């Protein structure tokens, strides 16, 4: 029998970061890349992949070292 106790609520703590990643993946899934749309603001497939890789690496590092989230930074402003 496995223990499924949540130790860290990553989805809540890093909701903004995860939303950015989900949004980029959804846009790519829907064909929103410059090679298809010919719109520069969509970004090329390679650019989107690089950005996703950077976002994942930063998120994993932030979780691993307990760094401040975007949500925390916004809370500090108000």
**What are the pLDDT digits (tens) for 23-40?**
999 999 999 999 999 998
Q: What is the pLDDT of residues 38-70, one digit of tens each?
A: 998 999 999 999 999 999 999 999 999 988 776
Q: What is the pLDDT of residues 3-24, one digit of tens each?
A: 788 788 889 889 999 999 999 9
Residue listed under structure tokens 């970061």: 17
Q: In terms of DSSP H, where are the helices of 1-78?
A: 10-13, 15-29, 34-37, 45-65, 70-77
1 in any annotated domain: no
Domain residues for 16?
Answer: 10-77
Q: φ and ψ at 2, to 5 degrees? A: -95, 155
What's the total number of domains in the chain?
1
pTM of the predicted model as reported, rounded to 2 decimal places: 0.79
69 in any annotated domain: yes
17 in any annotated domain: yes
């Amino acid at each position: 029998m496995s223990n499924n106790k949540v130790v860290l609520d990553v989805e809540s703590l890093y909701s903004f970061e995860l939303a950015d990643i989900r949004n980029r993946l959804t846009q790519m899934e829907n064909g929103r890349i410059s090679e298809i749309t010919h719109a520069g603001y969509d970004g090329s497939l390679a650019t989107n992949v690089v950005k996703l890789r950077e976002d994942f690496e930063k998120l994993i590092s932030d979780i691993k070292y307990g760094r401040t989230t975007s949500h925390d930074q916004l809370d500090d402003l108000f």
